[in-house]
């Protein structure tokens, strides 16, 4: 059976969303980042980085949330996986783009604006991160002006990978980017998204 390592309070949320979309049975190793279990030799043998998410799919071990979701959607022949090479390439493009342009930036922004204890917040880190988020939201907005979805005519793994990584942006004012705001809202209204959101916010 598929094993998913990582708490919903981590980037494993993205994989749990995909598993819900595909209605996959799985064993959940509900571990927070840096939990003692992630430091144990058994887990380090699966992911030498010690990070979550990681999956073990009947012996096939994979890390990196974006790669895991692309793999699961393709393996299960989901409609979320683009059927043609161009949209498949766009799904890769947007997944890699998110990792490069937004992933760490949105985390840094939120941590240094509200999440960390006040004494640990650094306004310079928050400002720099927000500047990078703004540039990325501009790019996303332009893309969504041209097309309702990121890779083809329907919601796909491209949208799931970017929208799931933008969980933290749900509480940010995105009024300057109306297309991105509407796309994010619609994406998170999917039943599978609501399911993982409820897991995280319970």
Ligand X SMILES: N[C@@H](CCC(=O)N[C@@H](CS)C(=O)NCC(=O)O)C(=O)O
Give the footprint of ligand X on this chain (CB under 6 A): 10-11, 33-34, 50-53, 64-65, 99
CA distance 101 to 65: 15
Choose between 5 and 181: whose C-beta lies nearer to ligand X. 5
For residue 178, give the H/E element and its range: helix 178-188
Shortest Cβ distance from residue 9 to ligand X (Å)? Answer: 8
Shortest Cβ distance from residue 68 to ligand X (Å)? Answer: 7
Choose between 46 and 181: whose C-beta lies nearer to ligand X. 46
Ranges assigned E (strand) in 31-165: 54-57, 60-63
Residue 94 near residue 162, CB atoms below 8 Å: yes
Choose between 47 and 181: whose C-beta lies nearer to ligand X. 47
Residue 33: what are its φ and ψ, rounded to 5°?
Answer: -55, 135
Shortest Cβ distance from residue 70 to ligand X (Å)? Answer: 12
What are the b/e assignments for 19-48, b being 16+ CB within 10 Å?
Answer: bbbbebebebbbbeeebeebeeeebeebbe
Shortest Cβ distance from residue 169 to ligand X (Å)? Answer: 16
Choose between 65 and 110: whose C-beta lies nearer to ligand X. 65
């Amino acid at each position: 059976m598929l094993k998913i390592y990582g708490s919903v309070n981590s980037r494993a949320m993205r994989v749990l969303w995909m598993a819900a979309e595909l209605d996959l049975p799985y064993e959940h190793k509900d571990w927070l980042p840096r939990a003692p279990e992630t430091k144990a030799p058994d887990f380090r043998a699966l992911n030498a980085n010690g990070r979550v998410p990681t999956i073990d799919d009947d012996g096939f071990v994979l890390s990196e949330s974006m790669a895991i979701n692309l793999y699961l959607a393709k393996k299960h022949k989901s409609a979320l996986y683009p059927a043609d090479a161009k949209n498949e390439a766009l799904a890769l493009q947007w997944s890699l783009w998110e990792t490069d342009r937004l992933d760490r930036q949105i985390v840094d922004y939120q941590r240094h604006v509200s999440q960390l204890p006040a004494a640990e917040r650094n306004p310079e880190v928050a400002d720099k991160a927000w500047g990078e988020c703004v540039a990325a939201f501009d790019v996303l907005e332009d893309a969504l002006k041209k097309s309702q979805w990121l890779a083809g005519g329907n919601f796909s793994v491209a949208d799931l990978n970017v929208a799931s990584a933008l969980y933290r942006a749900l509480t940010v004012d995105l009024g300057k980017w109306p297309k991105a705001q509407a796309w994010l809202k619609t994406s998170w209204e999917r039943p599978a998204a609501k399911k993982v959101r409820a897991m995280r916010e319970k």
